[in-house]
């Protein structure tokens, strides 16, 4: 049995598992992943439960994944494909762009083995990420906190499918590849600023503003032209940016024309500047005290453990960063308190309402009368839609030098 998984070629494994068109791109490089078969078999036999606990899985989650182990040990084709997935995720991550079609799911006909294909592929990388973090001097508690996204998304899977499993591999690969860190309530991801704005700070008052890069199509209401699925009936404009040695003239975020004197304003962020992108896992309320503690911890943590990350701002984009929540939800709502920490920006990457349905209505879509209005947020969202209003992803920045009052 043990040698057969090593020796399986792609075609044989594909036939045994009933893989189809979606898995064709696993054929490429297949021989290169053979070297992971033996270590994975050993890991399954000896370390699976322990590493699942180190990743923060609850006991019943661990039980469900341990139950599937024998399927992988007894079926060489499954073990071989697990080795290939581990190879794709952790040996050649740079060749897997975000959302890569190479991260296909196994056919549902494989039952629990398919539900836990990615659970196993990620849990097998637990020793690797603990070692990476240990080299940076990061405490095991922070590593475990960072990996609990697997448990969070296993719960989501169970709520949607009625059985344990995990499929949010596109998102969670960052947690296992030293790209994202959980500090208390919030997650921080160092990244190059990827939006078409330049952010300025007033040299004496500390006031900030953002100018759009030239050539951006935006609407009269300040949203980018591609917002709301590109469907709108407003005037469109194109942003300009004129620079002289002494001044810069252009359009502020949301569209107002302006001119800044460089003797007064210093440019602090341009596309490509390192920022810390903020993510909020679904682990409970967005408690303001906990958030502040995370924001206070972040500068100290990154200076100590990622000194090469010279970040300049916190950035956040989310469905709940839509400034319309600030106008309609009570001021005491956690999301309102959170978004007030940031200076608003229109979200440039096709701001739309898709995430609202996903995150607030568990993926249900339909006319507002048909969706549950059983709490304040849902009522506000649905009432606004009934009056013709549109929700869309919003964004914001918070410059590093601005004070954080714990």
Work out how close the CB of 368 gets to ligand COA at its nearest, in angstroms, rounded to a whole number: 14
CA distances to 240, 243, 270, 324 from 346, in Å: 17, 23, 16, 12
Does position 92 interact with ligand COA (CB under 6 A)? The reply is no
Q: How many CB atoms lie within 10 A of CB 246?
A: 9
CB nearer to ligand COA: pick between 359 and 400: 359
Q: Which of 25, 144, 297, 334 binds ligand COA (CB under 6 A)?
A: 334
At closest approach, how far in Å is the CB of 123 from ligand COA? Answer: 23
DSSP 130-190: HHHHHHTT--HHHHHHHHTHHHHHHHHHHHHHSS-----HHHHTTGGGTS-EEETTEEEEE
Is there binding between residue 96 and ligand COA (CB under 6 A)? no
Tokens found for residue 71? 């399927």
The answer to whether residues 349 and 331 touch, using CB atoms and an 8 Å cutoff, is: no
Name which position in 118, 130, 295, 320 contacts ligand COA (CB under 6 A).
320
Cβ neighbours around 148 below 10 Å, total: 18
- Residue 105 sits in the site that holds ligand COA (CB under 6 A): no
- In Å, what is the CA distance from 338 to each residue of 97, 302, 325? 31, 21, 11
Instruction: Give the interface segment with ligand COA, choosing from 12-20, 33-41, 374-382, 394-402 (CB under 6 A).
Output: 374-382
81, 83, 84, 90: CA torsion to nearest 10: 140
The pair of structure tokens assigned to 6 is 């090593």
Q: Mark the segment that binds ligand COA (CB under 6 A) among 118-126, 154-162, 230-238, 375-383.
A: 375-383
102 within 8 A of 96, measured Cβ to Cβ: yes
Residue pair 254/210 in contact by the 8 Å Cβ criterion: no
Both structure tokens of 40: 């994975």
375 lies in the site for ligand COA, by CB under 6 A: yes
> Can residue 378 be called a binding residue for ligand COA (CB under 6 A)?
yes
- Taken as a whole, the chain contains a residue count of 406
Q: Are 241 and 218 in contact (CB under 8 A)?
A: no
Q: Determine if 285 is a binding residue for ligand COA (CB under 6 A).
A: yes
C-beta of 85 vs 291, nearer to ligand COA: 291
The only residue of 134, 282, 304, 404 in contact with ligand COA, by rule CB under 6 A:
282
Residue 286, interface with ligand COA (CB under 6 A)? yes
46 or 362: whose CB is closer to ligand COA? Answer: 362
Smallest gap, in angstroms, from Cβ of residue 291 to ligand COA?
Answer: 10
Element (H, E) at 69: helix 69-74
Interface with ligand COA, residue 206, by CB under 6 A:
no
Binding test (CB under 6 A) with ligand COA, winner from 280, 293, 309, 354: 280
Taking the complex as a whole, the smallest distance from the CB of residue 391 to ligand COA amounts, in Å, to 13
From the list 4-12, 97-105, 218-226, 317-325, the region that binds ligand COA by CB under 6 A is 317-325
**Beta carbons within 10 angstroms of residue 160's beta carbon:** 12
Residues that bind ligand COA (CB under 6 A): 280, 282, 285-286, 318-320, 333-335, 359-360, 375-378
């Amino acid at each position: 049995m043990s040698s057969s998984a090593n020796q399986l070629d792609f075609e044989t494994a594909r036939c045994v598992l009933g893989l189809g068109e979606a898995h064709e791109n696993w054929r490429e490089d297949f021989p290169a992943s053979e070297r992971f078969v033996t270590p994975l078999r050993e890991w399954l036999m000896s370390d699976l439960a322990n590493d699942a606990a180190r990743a923060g899985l609850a006991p019943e989650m661990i039980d469900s994944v341990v139950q599937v182990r024998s399927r992988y040990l007894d079926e060489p084709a499954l073990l071989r494909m697990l080795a290939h997935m581990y190879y794709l995720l952790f040996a050649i991550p740079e060749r897997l762009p975000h959302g890569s079609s190479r991260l296909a799911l196994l056919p549902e006909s494989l039952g629990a083995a398919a539900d836990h294909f990615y659970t196993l592929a990620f849990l097998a990388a637990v020793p690797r990420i603990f070692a990476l973090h240990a080299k940076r001097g990061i405490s095991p508690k922070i590593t475990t906190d960072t990996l609990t996204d697997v448990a969070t998304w296993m719960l989501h899977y169970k709520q949607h499918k009625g059985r344990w499993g995990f499929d949010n591999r596109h998102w969670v690969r960052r947690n296992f590849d030293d790209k994202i860190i959980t500090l208390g309530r919030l997650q921080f991801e160092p990244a190059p600023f990827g939006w078409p704005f330049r952010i300025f700070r007033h040299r004496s008052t500390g006031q900030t503003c953002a100018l759009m890069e030239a050539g951006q199509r935006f609407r009269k209401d300040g949203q980018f032209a591609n917002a709301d699925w590109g469907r709108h009936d407003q005037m469109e404009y194109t942003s300009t940016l004129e620079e002289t040695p002494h001044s810069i003239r252009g359009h502020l975020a949301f569209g107002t024309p302006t001119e800044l004197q460089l003797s007064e304003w210093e440019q602090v962020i341009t596309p490509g500047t390192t920022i810390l992108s903020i993510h909020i896992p679904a682990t409970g309320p967005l408690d303001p005290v906990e958030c502040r503690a995370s924001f206070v911890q972040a500068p100290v943590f990154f200076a100590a453990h990622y000194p090469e990350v010279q970040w300049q701002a916190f950035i956040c984009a989310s469905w709940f960063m839509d400034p319309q929540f600030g106008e309609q939800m009570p001021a005491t709502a956690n999301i309102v308190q959170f978004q007030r920490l940031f200076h608003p920006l229109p979200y440039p990457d096709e701001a739309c309402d898709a995430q609202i349905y996903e995150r607030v209505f568990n993926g249900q879509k339909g006319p507002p009368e048909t969706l549950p209005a059983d709490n304040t947020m849902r009522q506000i969202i649905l009432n606004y839609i009934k009056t013709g209003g549109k929700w869309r992803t919003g964004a914001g920045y918070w410059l590093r030098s601005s004070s954080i009052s714990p």
